[in-house]
Chains A and B, each alone.
Chain A
Amino acid sequence: MDVLIYLIPIALFMGGLGLVGFLWSLKSGQYEDLDGAAQRILLDDDLENSERAED
C-alpha cells in the first residue's frame, strides 16, 4: 500500500489544479457574457480579407 504515499498527493494535486483553474477563469471574467462568447466564435474579423470565404 506504499503506493498511496504517491497516489493520494497526485490525486489531490490534480484536483487542486482543476479548482485553481476554475477560480482563475471566474476571476478573469470568463462567465460575464456567456451568450456573447457563444456567438463571437462565428465572427471572422480576425482573418485577413483574402482568407474569408467568398460569400
Chain B
Amino acid sequence: MTTLTTLDDELGCPSGLEPAHQGGTADPAPFVRRKDGVSTLELLVFGAKCAGCISKIEGGLNSVPGVDSARLNLSTGKLAVTWRDKAVDPRAIVSKVTSLGYRAAPFDPASAAGDKDVEGRALLRALAVAGFAAANIMLLSVAVWAGVNGEMGPATRELMHYISGAIAIPAAAYAGRPFFRSAFGALKNGHANMDVPISLAVILALGLSIYETIHGGVEAYFDAAVMLLFFLLIGRYLDHRLRAKARAAARDLLALQATTATRLGAGGELQSISTRDIHPGDTLILSPGDRAPADGEVIEGRSNVDLSLVTGESAPAVLEPGNKLHAGVLNLSSRLVMRATKTADDSLIADLTRLIEAGEQSKSRYRRLADKAASLYVPIVHTLAAATFLVWFFILDAGVRVSMMNAIAVLIITCPCALGLAAPAVQVVATGRLFRAGVLVKSGDALERLSEVDTMIFDKTGTLTYGRQRVSNLGDIPWSALEGAASLARISRHPLSRAIVASAGPGKGAPGAVEHQGFGIEGEVDGVKARLGRADWVGASTASGDATEVWYVRGDEPPVRFTFDDELRPDARETIDTLKARGLSVTMLSGDQEAPAQKIAAALGGVEYRARLTPQEKIGELQKLSAAGAKAAMVGDGLNDAPSLAAAHASLSPGTAADASQAAADFVYQGEKLAPIVEAFDVSRLARRRMLENFAFAAVYNLFAAPLAAFGFVTPLIAALAMSSSSIIVTLNALRLAKTQPRKR
C-alpha cells in the first residue's frame, strides 16, 4: 500500500514524465453544461501521461463528494466530470485537479462542438467495407485467374463473376461515396479534380464488368474497381486524420482562450464572469498570476508586471494607479484593481487575433504538391483514355466493346493509387517522427511550406533566450552579499528577486522582511537592517550602464550592485550556425530595446537584427522579405509574435509560448532547447524529397503502364498486380523516412 500513498503525496505525473504544475485556478462556472439535472464540465488537463495519472485524477475527483463520474481521455487530455446539479461547486473540481499537480483549463463547449469527427468515421466505415469487399472478391478472382487455361468451366466462372458483382456493386456504391460526391461537386462547378477520373474508372469498370458477366465474357474488373477504392480510401483516411489532428490541436488552443475574469460587483461582491462578458467600465480584480483580460487602467494597487508576452520586453515593469495596461499583461507580485476601458473583443489581444486570421487566410491559398500533381494528371489521363477509345474504334475498327474495354483499362491502370497515397503516407510518417522528437505539427501542409523556406526569423525574448532574468555579474558579488540579498529576495515574487534566489540556491528567508512595491525589500540580515531594491531607495548612487540593476545595502557596508540579463538558451548559437550551414539566412526581430537585442545578436555570432518592433512592424519586415522573393519561417513565442507567425510562410513556436502564438504556429516544439527547430526543418526537407520521389515513381510507372493498357495488353490480373505493387512501393518509400537520420553538417 505504500506505493499508493506516496503516489498521492507527490504532485503531478507519478512517472516523472512531466513536471508537476502549480498555479492559480480559474473559475469554470461559465463553462458548465446543464441537461436534465446533470451538470457536465469538460476540462483540458495538461501533464497527464500515464496510468498513474489516470488513477490519480479519476480517483481524486471521485472522492470529491457529489461527483457522479470522472473520465479522463489520455489521448486528448480531456476530462469529463458529471454531477447532480448544485451538488458540487465547479471550482472545487478545478482546484482538486490543480492540487494533484496538473494544470487544468476549462474547455469552452461552444468551440468544442465540432468535436465528433463525423467525416473521419464515415471514411473509416467506407474503408472497412471496401477492405471486406476487396478481400472477398480477390478470393474469387484468384480462382478465376488460376483456372484461366480451361481448368475452370464457364459455368463456375460465371457463378464467380455473379457473386463478385453481388459483393462489388453495393460495396462500391457505399465506399465510393466520398469520391462520387466530390467529383460531382467539382463537375457542377465546371472543373475536374482527381476524383473525376477515379469515379469514372470505378463506374465504367463496374458497368463493363456487369455487361461482360451477363454476356458470359471472360474478363471482369470487379476486383480492380473495389481494390482501387480500398487503396485510395487508405490514402484519404491518412490525409484526413493528419488534418483532423492538426485542426484539433489548433481548436484546443483556441478553446483555452475561454478564460474567466473576476469582476467586482456594485455591492462589493466578487463575480466570476467569462471574459466575453466584460464591458467597458467594469471593475476587475487581478490576482498575482492572472493575465489582464481586457485593456484598461489601474485604479488601485501597485504591482510588478511581466510584459514579455505582449511587447517582448524582457525587463519587468511596475504598474501604479493611473497607468494603462494592455490585455495579456501578466500580474506578478500583488493584487491590482483595474477598470476595463474596452471589451475583451476590442482589446489588444483581439487586434492580434484579427491580424492572425488575416495571415492564416493568405496561407490557406497555398497549393500543395499533391494538388499540383493532380492538376497535371487529370487532363493527361482523360485525354489518353479518350484517345484510346477513338483510335481503337475508328482506326482499328475494333467495335464498341473492345474499344471501351481498352479505354477503361487505361483509366484503371493509371488510376492514382500511388499518387493518392504518396503524399499522405509521407506526411504521416514525417509527423510521427517529429512527434517523437517533441515537435507537434499543426497543419497538413506545414511540412511542405517549411521545406521551401530560405530565411529563418527568430524572436528574441523567450525564444532564443529563456525569457527570464539571470544575475549577470555573479563574479563581482561577494558571497555574503549574495546570501544576504537572497534571504530578502526569498519573500518576493518579483522576477529579479527570483533570479537572485536562483543564483544563491536554497536557504532561509529573512525574518520580518517587508516588500515595498516598486521600491524593494527591507528586512534584517544577521541582525542588521538591510535593503534590496532601486538605487535611489537603498541610498546608492545610480551607476552607469543601461542594464537592469538592483542594489543591496546592509548597514554601513558599501552597496553591492546586481545586474541582470536574459539568459541565452544553451544551444542557440549552435542552432543558428547549423541553420546557416544549411544555407538559410537568419534574422532576429525583437520588440525589446536596442541594447539587449544587440547583445544577444552579438552573442549569436553577429546575426542581423532589428529591435523595438511593434507587431505590425514585424509583419512589415516579413512582407518586405517576401516582396524580395524570400520565403521566411518565423520562430516566436510572444503574443506580439502571433500575427507574424500567422503571416510567415511557415512558423514554429515553443511549448512555453502564449496560447495565441501556439495557435497561430504551424509547429509547436517542446523542451528547453532549440534543436527541434533543426530537426523539423531537416525532416520537412526529407519529406519533400520522399514525396517528389513518390511522384516521380508514379510518373514512371504510368509511362510504362498506360501504353500497355492503351494497346490492349492489360488483363484484370495485370491491373491488380500493377495497382497493388505501385501502392506498396510508395508506402515503403514513405516508411524509409522513419529511420533515415538527417545529414550531419
Residues of A participating in the B interface, judged by any CB pair closer than 8 Å: 1, 4, 8, 11-12, 15-16, 18-19, 22-23, 26, 32-36, 39-43, 45, 49, 52, 54-55
Contact flag A54-B1 (CB < 8 Å), given A16-B132, A39-B50: yes
- Give A35 to B218 CA distance when docked, in angstroms: 50
Q: B51 touching A32 by the CB < 8 A rule?
A: no
Q: Collect the chain B residues with CB atoms within 8 Å of residue A23's CB.
A: 125, 128
Contact flag A4-B129 (CB < 8 Å), given A11-B136, A33-B75, A43-B54: no
Contact flag A22-B128 (CB < 8 Å), given A15-B135, A39-B50, A45-B59: yes
Mark out the residues of chain B between 99 and 140 whose CB falls within 8 Å of any chain A CB in the assembled complex. 121, 124-125, 128-129, 132, 135-136, 139-140
Q: B139 touching A36 by the CB < 8 A rule?
A: no
- Give A33 to B72 CA distance when docked, in angstroms: 9
- Give A18 to B128 CA distance when docked, in angstroms: 10
Known: A12-B167, A26-B121, A43-B54. 20 other contacts (CB 8 A): A4-B159, A8-B140, A15-B132, A16-B132, A19-B128, A19-B129, A19-B132, A22-B128, A32-B73, A33-B74, A36-B54, A36-B75, A39-B54, A40-B54, A42-B51, A43-B51, A45-B59, A49-B1, A55-B2, A55-B3
B412-433 Cβ-contact flags toward A at 8 Å (1 or 0): 0000000000000000000000
Q: Is the interface of B mostly helix, strand, loop or mixed?
A: helix
Q: Collect the chain A residues with CB atoms within 8 Å of residue B59's CB.
A: 45
B55-82 Cβ-contact flags toward A at 8 Å (1 or 0): 1000100000000000011111000000
Contact of B51 among A15, A34, A39, A54 (CB under 8 A): A39
Find the residue from B50, B74, B125, B140 having the highest chain A CB count within 10 A. Answer: B74
Q: Collect the chain A residues with CB atoms within 8 Å of residue B156's CB.
A: 1, 4
- Give A34 to B3 CA distance when docked, in angstroms: 26
- Nearest to B171 among chain A residues (CB) is A19
- Give A50 to B577 CA distance when docked, in angstroms: 60
Q: A15 touching B76 by the CB < 8 A rule?
A: no
The count of residues in chain B whose C-beta lies closer than 8 Å to any C-beta of chain A is 27
Q: B135 touching A55 by the CB < 8 A rule?
A: no
Q: Collect the chain B residues with CB atoms within 8 Å of residue A39's CB.
A: 50-51, 54, 74
Q: Collect the chain B residues with CB atoms within 8 Å of residue A49's CB.
A: 1
Q: Is the interface of A mostly helix, strand, loop or mixed?
A: helix
- Nearest to B143 among chain A residues (CB) is A4
Q: Collect the chain B residues with CB atoms within 8 Å of residue A15's CB.
A: 132, 135-136
Pairs A–B under 8 Å by Cβ, sample size 20: A1-B156, A4-B159, A15-B132, A19-B129, A19-B132, A26-B121, A32-B75, A35-B74, A35-B75, A36-B72, A39-B50, A39-B54, A40-B54, A43-B55, A45-B55, A45-B59, A54-B1, A55-B1, A55-B2, A55-B3
Q: B75 touching A34 by the CB < 8 A rule?
A: yes
Q: Collect the chain A residues with CB atoms within 8 Å of residue B55's CB.
A: 43, 45
Contact flag A12-B121 (CB < 8 Å), given A39-B50, A43-B54, A55-B1: no
Nearest Cβ distance between residue B136 and chain A, in whole angstroms? 5
Q: Collect the chain B residues with CB atoms within 8 Å of residue A18's CB.
A: 132
Task: Report if B163 contacts A (CB, 8 A).
Answer: yes
Q: Collect the chain A residues with CB atoms within 8 Å of residue B74's CB.
A: 33, 35-36, 39
Q: A12 touching B136 by the CB < 8 A rule?
A: yes
- Give A43 to B71 CA distance when docked, in angstroms: 14
- Nearest to B2 among chain A residues (CB) is A55
Q: Collect the chain A residues with CB atoms within 8 Å of residue B159's CB.
A: 4
Q: Enumerate the 4 nearest inter-chain pairs by beta-carbon distance, A residue then B residue, closest first.
A: A36-B74, A39-B51, A42-B51, A19-B132
Nearest Cβ distance between residue B585 and chain A, in whole angstroms? 40
- Give A20 to B449 CA distance when docked, in angstroms: 41
Q: Collect the chain A residues with CB atoms within 8 Å of residue B3's CB.
A: 55
- Nearest to B153 among chain A residues (CB) is A1
- Give A52 to B2 CA distance when docked, in angstroms: 12
Mark out the residues of chain B between 24 and 69 whose CB falls within 8 Å of any chain A CB in the assembled complex. 50-51, 54-55, 59
- Nearest to B166 among chain A residues (CB) is A12
Q: Collect the chain A residues with CB atoms within 8 Å of residue B121's CB.
A: 26
Q: Collect the chain A residues with CB atoms within 8 Å of residue B1's CB.
A: 49, 52, 54-55
Find the residue from B76, B129, B136, B140 having the highest chain A CB count within 10 A. Answer: B136
Q: Collect the chain B residues with CB atoms within 8 Å of residue A54's CB.
A: 1
- Nearest to A45 among chain B residues (CB) is B55
Q: Collect the chain B residues with CB atoms within 8 Å of residue A33's CB.
A: 73-76
Q: Collect the chain A residues with CB atoms within 8 Å of residue B140's CB.
A: 8
- Give A2 to B586 CA distance when docked, in angstroms: 76
